[in-house]
Structure 1
């Protein structure tokens, strides 16, 4: 081989040592030197490359490069004044970021990026060295208010729009959240079946029940399904944010929407299930008053088991006080079970039947002519009711209030008075009482005070077609027949003189005639 051939061969081998790059290529190299302004990189080319030091600075101004590090940069096929190839790490990162975004868009994948800054209408998102646009409406499922709080945060995004010519990209996080929500809901709905038992969080408390978040799907526990016992307000049993266990009791679909009805009490045994093993008719037990209404009292005798004491079963009194004057919610009372309806979950109770029947031995406790004390419980046109003891009331007929029909005593409800027992009817539960009988009967001495032929002053009480009644003294009235008017025309309340014509003490009758002076 000639010397010329050897020289050519040597030149070819020398050229093969160096790599060939085109402008715009991304090259790899090793950092060989770092100065205050530049980073020098061996890229295996005829001359070393140089990258501005600032391209290695992070957002906090820290330089992140060391001699020996391997870096990637864009080759521009240009040299600086010192003959070093000009490279750009930032340009390489922009290209890499754009390529990631483009690939994610074409392959329908996600891309990770960090929100860099606020711009009009949204944010810039950094993906390596590339910056994409994130509209403010695409950050969360619901509109956001505190935009600055998102700057610096890293998320996964979906590339929703690309302009390859201008290398523009629009991102969305909302799309991914919506996909997650759909998947989450799908997973939840796979669990949501009637009779399924789930754990949820109390989301809202209302007067009528509790809304529970089952993990993205809400259900309602109606107040009647919270406990077998009476619940005045749901807040008595649960707190906002509390985790509770619930059972799905019904799922309704209407107009494309599903409503989930939940139960808490259904997780425990129904206390009415074996009611016959716990209680029986005629049994006497204790319970707590849970409600008072116009028609009676509801008493809970065991957890989840309550019955009604009808107002007629509260007291033996015919005219008892109002129920809320006798009892209040929370009171403990003794009751007798008078009926059990398991099918309709109803129980009849009685308070009065836990006490002795007051009329059982009434004749041993009260006898005619006895003077007793009682309390006025009712005032009617026909008379006054007096309570002698619980369940025992007597009536003072209007005729037995006073010997004088015009002078009725002033009596008030609640007054304590003494009365005389006139008669007792045990079968009809009636006692006749008298008030006037506590004083002397004015007719008792009428024949000693008056005689036929006596002329006395009297007051006209009433005028009837057949005659007039006149009052001679308290408790004693006389009839003046029309035939004995003696040409007088009597008027009510008028004072007149009468002549006593006849006295019948036994029948309490007195006949007189007007004296025409």
Structure 2
């Protein structure tokens, strides 16, 4: 079909001034040349779109034929050649936004390809949609654990996933409303929920340590189920650094103390003899005992009366952290008086006994 371009340009002069940039329009394809497609936008005039723009919307050219109708947005009311320039950008953005919304609402699981990795997680792509998968939303199988918290090691493990496909769900859109936040963990939540249904609080499981971090240990059990034993639940004694007591691969037994939203909380100390059980038989309020200062903090000092029982000397007795450090040193022994015991909370309040307080008071002789 031959098109008189001069006639088309003449028609542009009579285009309706009511149309505006960004407006969605529909028209019939008039002509296709090497680089451009011309669209009849009567009564507004003739539209033009570059062939290079087609790839963003059409996988092949079978739908781009003379006589076919296409939709696009007005990019410019008049380009350098005098045509109404069209673009698919806004339509693509709207379609992408609708697709993301549908995927999120339906909770559909899709297979997305990992395109790149950074220290925070992975970049994924699914049917033209690009998004981010934070490390925290990776499954137990793919979570990049590092025994020393080495960021380079974590990044290396994430980079090993580049090129692979992960089954994920759409969690949300980003602030711009286009890119999507994916979750592999959410895609597995139904399977996890089903597997967890056979467990209840107080059950004891045996598993392997899958991660050791500053705040506790992760325990993997029963075909990739995983839970956390917080540092406070590792032992009755204070553990400052879990890495000194545990390592990845160690077998452990743990008691389930919490199950919520597919998150499992464990306790190792619950399987050990509770040293506070008969605390009132061993230690008495008001009595003075020898204790070793374990740690000094801005709120006070932890003092061990024996291997398992410890109490707190509050900062209020000293007035400031500098004063407490003048009177107490970590690792040294001092005399402490027990001022309170909360057996159910495993708490004991102590008070430093000043040397003068330990000396017997001299008796005054009665006057004759």
Q: Provide TM-score, normalisation by structure 2.
A: 0.46
Tell me: higher relative CO, structure 1 or 2? Use CA pairs within 8 A at least 6 residues apart. Answer: 2
Q: Which has the larger radius of gyration?
A: 1
Q: Provide TM-score, normalisation by structure 1.
A: 0.36
